[in-house]
């Protein structure tokens, strides 16, 4: 499994989308595990 690279613009868009549509939905859309972005 290769590691995905998000540009700064991609990250900002994901954060914006997560605040509008919800974190869980957005992480599933981009196939990102919650542990990758959420503090323990």
The tens digit of pLDDT for each residue in 1-40 reads: 567 788 999 999 999 999 999 999 999 999 888 888 777 6
Whether 14 and 26 have beta carbons less than 8 Å apart is answered as yes
Q: How far apart are the first and last CA of the chain?
A: 24
Would you call 29 helix, strand, or coil by DSSP? helix
| Neighbouring C-alpha atoms within 13 Å toward the C-beta of 32 | 20
Q: pLDDT value at position 1?
A: 54
């Amino acid at each position: 499994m290769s590691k995905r690279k998000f540009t700064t613009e991609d990250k900002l868009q994901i954060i914006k989308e997560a605040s509008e549509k919800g974190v869980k939905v957005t992480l599933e859309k981009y196939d990102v595990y919650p542990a990758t972005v959420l503090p323990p």
